[in-house]
Structure 1
């Protein structure tokens, strides 16, 4: 057709190239218009403490732990149907850390509605899906007035639910956590440093949460390992339940 119009081969080639570019631009413009009409997509992500604001009270560090074989007898809640009691979990007014340091119980609470003990949409939904029927929380202050800690024990439907919750907390803790118990004797400072651990214990999940009362990051003299072991003294209630099922010889 272009030859019939009297155009030389060089002119024909130029026209074809220009027409191709114009066609490509028009096609891209059409794609953009179509894509815009579909709406805007924003990828999901777990909110960080910074996004939640400076007054957010949650741990800045978290580590999860799988359930040891010792707690296999508690993998099914139907074999451990008796409900937890406040006295059973927080019967001791003090937990020992070392020869000099103690953790003193200053507040305790047992909720049958687990959503009252945690916050954050993702975590609240996970806890509900895990069949949580009880949440026991105890707030402790160290005898030297330097540390604050909270132990939370969640009663879930089975060992799989407990393991999945601990795994999910690897990201969920950034946008939701256990609600801190209020106490006039002390609390976790808003925006301060704290760290936590999640422990699957059969069909239970134990949450350990520790920080300094002044909110500062730990120094060389701050032994969080010993503090964690001391705070986990509240887990004696779970050990006693293993014995109740298997017998003292086990």
Structure 2
């Protein structure tokens, strides 16, 4: 009698991790990267670094491979989600920096050491003001855009919630005009994957490496405010986490901008 041959179980192939730095910097999600590579394969083109660079260039992007190294893209902290808002009309009195020439000060922007919104209470942990805007961001593309926008100051403040559950950072950028501020917050909708603000170092408030965070950009006349929030443990928000109130709380720093609108508005 012939002994039945035992069929060997097929080991499932390890799932491919799609994380191509050049594509990620240009705003492609991992699923979009996979679709792009599959599309290139279907038409019979060998998938290689050279081919991918050509495909990216053919889409009309001005990406320069040297702008951000693979290491920088994969290790630098950045928000997992981002939204941007252009400047409302109420900031028209400070649409141009020349209408609001007084430089920012830390005492002005971060005058309040405690910010509250609903049940969320944030306590200021550290502040820093830089005249070199490129020093507070990573990603050459973002640094170049700030230079083109005439950025002269970047004020950062990092907060920890009173219960130690959350971390929040606010960055206020002093730009040339509203058009520059609008363009910045809109471009970051995709470009935040390849460039973002650097976290302000503090022993009391720190973003967890590799943790989940969210960001938003708010143009206000010739200023652009960047909000960055997350849980202190790096976990994604759950049912008990109110990121809306957290974002509104840290935006209390924007009172400094409203005071400048009042100062620049013509007397009625």
TM-score (norm 1): 0.79
Question: Is it true that 1:131 corresponds to 2:150 in the alignment?
Answer: yes
Q: Provide the secondary structure at the position in 2 that maps to 1:216.
A: coil
Q: Of 198, 208, 214, which aligns to 2:217?
A: 198
1:248 deviates by: 7.6
Check conservation: 2:85, 2:219, Cα contact below 8 A. Answer: yes
How do 1:45-60 and structure 2 match up within 5 A?
52-53=73-74, 55-60=75-80
Match of 1:17?
none
1:247 deviates by: 5.6
Q: Provide the secondary structure at the position in 1 that maps to 2:219.
A: strand
Match of 2:43?
none
| Cα distance in 2 for residues equivalent to 1:164 and 1:138 | 23
Match of 2:240?
221
Where in structure 1 are there 5+ consecutive unaligned residues? 1-38
Check conservation: 1:57, 1:189, Cα contact below 8 A. Answer: no
Q: Of 119, 130, 142, which aligns to 1:111?
A: 130
Match of 1:239?
258
Task: Choose 1 or 2 for highest CA Rg.
Answer: 1
1:97 deviates by: 1.9
Question: Is it true that 1:143 corresponds to 2:157 in the alignment?
Answer: no
Q: CA RMSD in A?
A: 2.2
1:56 deviates by: 2.9
| Cα distance in 1 for residues equivalent to 2:159 and 2:245 | 14
Where in structure 2 are there 5+ consecutive unaligned residues? 1-49
Q: Provide the secondary structure at the position in 2 that maps to 1:164.
A: helix
Q: How many residues align?
A: 209
| Cα distance in 1 for residues equivalent to 2:96 and 2:215 | 26
Match of 1:34?
none
Check conservation: 2:138, 2:196, Cα contact below 8 A. Answer: yes
Match of 1:161?
180
Match of 1:69?
89
| Cα distance in 2 for residues equivalent to 1:232 and 1:248 | 27
- Quickly say closer, same or farther: Cα 1:50–1:60, change in 2 above 3 A: farther
Match of 1:4?
none
Check conservation: 2:158, 2:205, Cα contact below 8 A. Answer: no
Check conservation: 1:112, 1:133, Cα contact below 8 A. Answer: yes
Q: Provide the secondary structure at the position in 1 that maps to 2:234.
A: coil
**Cα deviations by residue, 1:172-208 (Å, 9 ceiling, x for unpaired):** 1001100100011130111110001000000000001
**Cα deviations by residue, 1:6-60 (Å, 9 ceiling, x for unpaired):** xxxxxxxxxxxxxxxxxxxxxxxxxxxxxxxxx865325778x99832x431100
